[in-house]
Amino acid sequence: MKRAITMTCLTLLVTLLVALGTTVDAGSSASPPHSSAYGKPLPEWMQLYITWLFNGGSGNVGPVTFLPIPSGNVIGGTFTFDDPATVQGHLDVTLAPGTPFVLSVVGWFGETYLPSLGYPDDPPLPAEFFTDPSKATIKVYVDGTRVMDSTIASVSPFYYGPVDLDVTYPAPTSYGSTGAIFTQGIGFVHPPLSVGTHTIQLDAGLRVPPDSSFLNLSVYPDGVGVRYLVTWTIVVSPHP
């Protein structure tokens, strides 16, 4: 099963957005995704973040940190369109004061395959699988305050992609992929939290029907379905 990243649990970024309708609330601390948040637009941040998830290395770019994703526990489902898996996870994180962070909410990456298999490179998914509230429920709350909630307002301002990746796997996967060539999804860059203890709650899913126009049915004969229920406890402390 190929990884669908939420970043959550396995993959974005604007500063904190509390939107009504499809517009950015002028009274919030949000930045539209095509503007620069801490010097980079959302697609560039996500390219750096997802590359870091694959390859490791420094989890910071200047003052901005890449928030780790917890290992998830599958509590049900088979990762198919008709029987989505539910993955739960929790992670404790300590940040220094004044640290913005990047987090992927839900994402997808395209792969390339062993030439001997004869598979074409994966194409991007339609954006509607991430942004259409009838197809995906996506919620992120920080200390009970809404960052995004597709049941209340459009999450389209948080959509990015597809953006190129240049990731080669150490060895081919069990289904013959050799690297990741692009990523797309939903995410954000959050401004620094105050000193103290904070909670991020994420509920996000992705369901893709078995359709050869945008899925390799040799890899996904039954489509894709996953829901992430993830929390972070973040302690912002002046003392490491």
The full set of domain ranges for the chain reads: 42-236
Whether residue 132 has pLDDT greater than 70: yes
Place of tokens 């690297």: 179
Considering the entire predicted model, what is its pTM? 0.84
pLDDT at 198: 97
For residue 22, what pLDDT band results from cuts at 50, 70 and 90?
Answer: very low
Between 136 and 19, residue with greater pLDDT: 136
To the nearest whole number, what is the mean pLDDT of the chain? 85
At 42-95, the pLDDT tens digits run: 999 999 999 999 998 889 999 999 999 998 899 999 999 999 999 999 999 999
pLDDT at 15 over 70: no
User: How many residues are recorded in the chain?
Assistant: 240
60-61 and 64-66 beta bridge pairing: antiparallel
pLDDT tens digits, 26-41:
223 334 444 567 889 9
Q: How far is CA 233 from CA 69, 143, 171, 201, in A?
A: 12, 10, 34, 9
| pLDDT over 90, % of the chain | 76
